[in-house]
Amino acid sequence: MFYQRSYILCVMVVMSITVIPTASAKDGVLRAGILGCDTSHVIAFTNLINNPTAEGVLSEVEVTVAYPGGSPDLPDSANRVDGFVKQLREKGIKIVDSLEEFAKECDVVLLESVDGRPHLKQFRAVAQGKPIFVDKPAAASLADVIAIFRVAEETHTPVFSSSALRFCKEVQETAHSDKIGELLGCETSGPMHVESHHPDLFWYGIHGVEPLYAIMGTGCESVNRTDTDLSSLVVGKWRNGRIGSYRGMQKGYNFALTAYGTKGVVQHSGINGYEGEIDEICKFFKSGKPPVSREEIVEVYAFMEAADESKRQGGKAVSISEIIERAEKQAAANIAAAGGK
């Protein structure tokens, strides 16, 4: 009887080991968790990070676990989450059904929910000192963006957010080029699909605004916006006299930039790719040092929120500082609503 019971116990142990998936990574490799599986980024990022031939910093991070998430009232989320979860499972990624388990299973976090509205609550739930990358849009309001940074400070959690286009080769080369001399201004353009729960530029316009800021840097004082059926033109005036603008196109699908300097003009078209961003994210995961400052991220979202305010005011110039001040006052209430102090 003892041997029979021992045999049954051994079979049960073997079955449990065989049936229940476990998240794992090689020694010294950071376990990355994906929070929110309703965007194509989760597949693209996993393919790049988990590529068996990956070298350098990418070889020091591995996606091992994911939490599905999803927004029932947003078709771009609800209609895609199951499909992406299935693909992740097929890649050997462990899928968990609670944020508590998720936080225990990973060392670093890719907050990927396509909907910016739940980002603050999700960030609040997993902010435990582990580096977190928040994909675009960082939130559905500037107040929530500021609230995320406040939670990050309270919990000593390194964080940054960015569009992939900021780190594309053409953008970075332009931002650090000495061929055009002193930078006088910059124009970026791209498709501008909008989503009703977010300020207009948050959803897709950010892919043009991020490169604009990568090249221009901070210091925008005011924003005004003009709209037609074909495009939206958002013009920012920087404190040193430079002008930077973003043109959101209702037709076509092409990202481009033009940078003006005292020695020449640089133009690029067809900007795309995730490789630069993934490299920067993995460096951030290893170092805990964000490649983009809080100040710049906040101003990027203030620029975009100011564009909506200008539209409401019939194209009048809107102060960036006033937009930030208003959001700062709202941030505390948003943290409380998300379950914070």
Reported as a single tens digit per residue, the pLDDT across 119-136 is 999 999 999 999 999 999
Rounded to the nearest 5°, which phi and psi values hold at 32? -100, 135
pLDDT at site 340? 62
Output the CATH code of domain 165-341: 3.30.360.10
Paired tokens of 261:
């300097």
- Answer whether 290's CB lies under 8 Å from 215's CB: no
- Describe the crossing of helices 320-337 and 142-155 by its angle, rounded to 10 degrees: 60
**Residue limits of CATH 3.30.360.10 in the chain:** 165-341
What's the rounded mean pLDDT across residues 222-243? 97
CATH 1.10.287.130 fits 29-164, yes or no: no
- In the chain, residues under CATH classification 3.40.50.720 are 29-164
Of 230, 248, 264, give the one whose Cα is nearest residue 187: 248
- pLDDT averaged over the chain? 93
Q: Of all helices (H) and strands (E), which one includes residue 221? A: strand 220-227
Helix, strand or coil, per DSSP, at residue 77: helix
- What does pTM read for this prediction? 0.91
**pLDDT tens figures, 133-192:** 999 999 999 999 999 999 999 999 999 999 999 999 999 999 999 889 999 999 999 999
What's the pLDDT at 24? 60
Going from the C-alpha of 145 to that of each of 59, 121, 302, 341, the distances in angstroms are: 31, 11, 10, 16
Residue 106 neighbours by CB under 8 Å, 6+ apart: 23, 31, 32, 33, 64, 65, 130
| Calpha distance 296→165 (Å, rounded) | 15
Paired sense of beta strands 94-95 and 61-67, if any: parallel
